[in-house]
């Protein structure tokens, strides 16, 4: 079997990412866009020693779970993964993804996936690159998965309408005023991308990403007149031929440095570099569930590792005695301390430094009852986990955006005296393959 071969298959099951799984000539075939029970004609895209990746090009007997994608760009765009299946099917795949990845662990409580009632218009941050086609027409959209080829999109269904309108408006301006567009191949041109952040309170931030300073005063005037919800406009200068999008070279062109977001009744200043979950409503649901699993007491002292701007930390404050937020990014700690003042909270301390070093200092100073982790996709550093184990912190709440690295970390913890108690998947990113997971662990008898 080789690339571009066409093969007929019967789909038997799903893999952890929702690809259909079939077998042929002793090989496992993962088929994008295929559903269980379907007979498909697929084209081979990648061949490995024991498995093959293919893409469905013809469906003979469509599954009852198959639907017509709402988005006309779905089959070409790399943003969403599951628009060809109904949401009930998607939920089951995500639930099984978490359950099957954690198959090694026994005797824990597994809760059903907390689903997303709103599967469109939920993103509060969108990055949109601009380019020119061979005929020099301006286009904008998302990259085709695995490439840097832009699929032109005039409306993204998981982005709010006003964000789509702002992106379109900027595109028209760039085209009418003949602003040069950055070309990755030649490393020439000025305008690269737009980032739009929007809060649940209706405030919007726009970031114009360019290769050098440029006079956008007319565009700014047009934007603020057309979209009064825009409270902040930045220029970010990035002249490097790299995948890194935002740099430290920026200028506030209009309005405030931050927009305001509300999370469970607390106010947070969010700048263009702040980490914030992209689905506001599901973020609040996830936090509530995490706090419930923590079963906090008013006398508890808690650490929030990888605390970012303090959305979890400050919401923990009203539920316990003292909270310590630890973060290695200086700007995030500055932002978190401002948010602490903004909400008049006095039982939180934010600490700049490496989590593994600062945890040790804290535990040696006073009793810590619970620690929250919400690490990046790569999971926790081994040194960090070693410190948590060494410090014998009684309870862990692990919030993960990557169940594979979460499983790896939990295995380290359970091999060193912790027990996995409860797991809850949360669908933060409807119509994509991604799923968040909340895990609670407690220190077993080994370390007591």
Domain at 91-118+279-447, CATH homologous superfamily:
Vaccinia Virus protein VP39 (3.40.50.150)
**What confidence score (pLDDT) does residue 447 get?**
42
In this structure, are strands 348-352 and 418-426 parallel, antiparallel, or unpaired?
unpaired
Q: For residue 129, what is the enclosing H or E element?
A: strand 125-132
CB 143 within 8 A of CB 135: no
E strand or H helix at 422: strand 418-426
Residue 243, pLDDT score: 80
**pLDDT for position 149:** 85
Which percentage of the chain shows pLDDT scores above 90? 84
Q: Check: CB of residue 130 under 8 Å from CB of residue 121.
A: no
Q: Is 362 exposed, middle or buried (0-12, 13-18, 19+ CB in 10 A)?
A: buried
- Output phi, psi for 122, to 5 deg: -100, -15
Does residue 445 register a pLDDT over 60? no
Mean pLDDT of all residues in 166-182 = 95
Report pLDDT for 136: 85
Region of 25 (left: φ > 0; alpha: ψ -120 to 50; beta: rest) is left
Identify the band that residue 384 occupies on the pLDDT scale cut at 50, 70 and 90: very high
pLDDT single digits (tens) 289-312: 999 999 999 999 999 999 999 999
Domain boundaries in the chain? 6-66, 91-118+279-447, 125-263
CB atoms within 10 A of CB 356: 20
Interatomic CA distance for residues 17 and 79, integer angstroms: 14
Mean pLDDT rounded to a whole number for the chain:
94
| Class of CATH domain 125-263 | mainly beta
Task: Please say if 77 is a catalytic residue.
Answer: no
249 token code pair: 């070279």
Q: How far apart are CA 343 and CA 269, in angstroms?
A: 11
227-248: average pLDDT: 92
**Lowest mean pLDDT across 124-133, 140-149, 244-253, 327-336:** 140-149
Alpha-carbon distances of 147 from 28, 144, 207, 220, 329, rounded to whole Å: 25, 6, 24, 32, 30
Question: What is the pLDDT, as a whole number, of residue 116?
Answer: 86
The predicted pLDDT at position 446 comes to 40
Choose the catalytic residue: 71, 77, 307, 401: 401
Return the higher-pLDDT residue of 376 and 336: 336
Could you tell me the strand order of the sheet in which 51-59 lies? Answer: 6-10, 39-47, 51-59, 27-32, 20-24, 13-14
**pTM, to two decimals:** 0.93
Span 420-441, mean pLDDT?
96
Amino acid 195: pLDDT:
97
Those residues with Cβ within 8 angstroms of residue 11's Cβ, 6 or more apart along the chain or in another chain: 20, 21, 22, 31, 34, 35, 36, 37, 38, 39, 40
Contact (CB, 8 A) for 127 and 245: yes
Q: Could you count the other beta carbons within 10 Å of the beta carbon of residue 166?
A: 24
Four-way CATH pick for 6-66: 3.60.21.10, 2.30.30.240, 3.40.50.300, 2.40.50.140: 2.40.50.140
Cα dihedral value 93, 95, 96, 100, nearest 10: 140
pLDDT digits (tens, 9 = 90+) for 273-290: 999 999 999 999 999 999
Residue 13, φ and ψ in degrees, nearest 5: -160, -175
pLDDT beyond 90 at 185: no
pLDDT of residue 448: 41
Burial of 314-349, coded b for 16+ CB within 10 Å and e otherwise, reads: bbbbbebebbbbbbebeebbebbbebbeebebeebe
User: pLDDT value at position 97?
Assistant: 95
The set of residues, in sequence order, having a beta carbon less than 8 Å from that of 368 and lying 6+ positions away, is 301, 302, 303, 359, 362, 391, 393
- The pLDDT, as a whole number, for residue 75 is 87
What residue has token string 């994008």? 32
User: pLDDT tens digit string along 308-367?
Assistant: 999 999 999 999 999 999 999 999 999 999 999 999 999 999 999 999 899 999 988 899
pLDDT in tens, 51-83: 999 999 999 899 999 999 999 999 888 789 999
Q: Identify whether the C-beta of residue 275 lies closer than 8 Å to the C-beta of residue 309.
A: yes
**Are the C-beta atoms of residues 307 and 359 closer than 8 Å to each other?**
no
Q: Which of 13-27, 256-270, 363-377 has the highest mean pLDDT?
A: 256-270
User: Are domains 6-66 and 91-118+279-447 of this chain identical in fold?
Assistant: no
* Mean pLDDT of all residues in 239-262: 92
């Amino acid at each position: 079997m080789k690339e571009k071969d066409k093969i007929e298959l019967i789909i038997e099951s799903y893999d952890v990412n929702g690809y259909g799984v079939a077998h042929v000539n002793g090989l496992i075939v993962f088929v994008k866009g295929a559903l269980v029970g379907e007979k498909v004609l697929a084209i081979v895209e990648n061949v490995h020693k024991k498995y093959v990746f293919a893409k469905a090009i013809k469906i003979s007997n469509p599954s009852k779970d198959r639907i017509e994608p709402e988005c006309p760009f779905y089959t070409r765009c790399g943003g969403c993964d599951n628009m060809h299946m109904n949401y009930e099917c998607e939920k089951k795949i995500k639930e099984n993804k978490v359950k099957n990845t954690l198959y090694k662990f026994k005797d824990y409580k597994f809760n059903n996936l907390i689903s997303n009632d709103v599967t469109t218009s939920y993103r509060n941050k969108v990055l949109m690159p601009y380019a020119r086609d061979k005929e020099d027409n301006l286009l904008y959209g998302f990259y085709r998965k695995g490439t840097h080829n832009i699929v032109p999109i005039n409306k993204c269904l998981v982005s709010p309408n006003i964000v789509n309108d702002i992106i379109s408006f900027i595109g028209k301006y760039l085209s009418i005023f003949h602003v040069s567009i950055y070309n990755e191949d030649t490393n020439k041109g000025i305008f690269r991308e737009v980032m739009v952040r929007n809060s649940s309170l209706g405030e919007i931030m726009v970031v114009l990403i360019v290769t050098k300073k440029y006079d956008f005063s007319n565009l700014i005037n047009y934007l603020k007149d057309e979209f009064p919800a825009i409270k902040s406009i930045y220029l970010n200068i990035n002249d490097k031929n790299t995948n890194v999008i935002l740099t430290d070279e920026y200028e506030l062109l209009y309005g405030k440095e931050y927009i305001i977001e509300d999370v469970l009744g607390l106010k947070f200043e969010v700048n263009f570099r702040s980490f914030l979950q992209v689905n506001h409503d599901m973020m609040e649901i996830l936090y509530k569930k995490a706090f419930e699993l923590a079963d906090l007491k008013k006398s508890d002292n808690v650490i929030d590792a990888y605390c970012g701007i303090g959305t979890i930390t400050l919401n923990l404050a009203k539920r316990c005695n003292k909270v310590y937020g630890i973060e290695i990014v200086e700007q995030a700690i500055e932002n978190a301390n401002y948010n602490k003042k903004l909400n008049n909270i006095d039982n939180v301390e934010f600490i700049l430094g490496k989590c593994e070093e600062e945890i040790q200092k804290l535990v040696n100073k006073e009793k810590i009852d619970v620690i929250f982790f919400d690490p990046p996709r790569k999971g926790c550093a081994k040194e960090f986990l070693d410190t948590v184990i060494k410090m014998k912190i009684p309870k862990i709440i692990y919030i993960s955006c990557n169940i594979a690295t979460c499983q790896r970390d939990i295995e380290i913890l359970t091999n060193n005296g912790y027990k996995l108690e409860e797991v809850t998947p949360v669908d933060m990113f409807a119509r994509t393959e991604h799923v968040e997971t909340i895990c609670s662990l407690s220190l077993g008898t080994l370390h007591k």
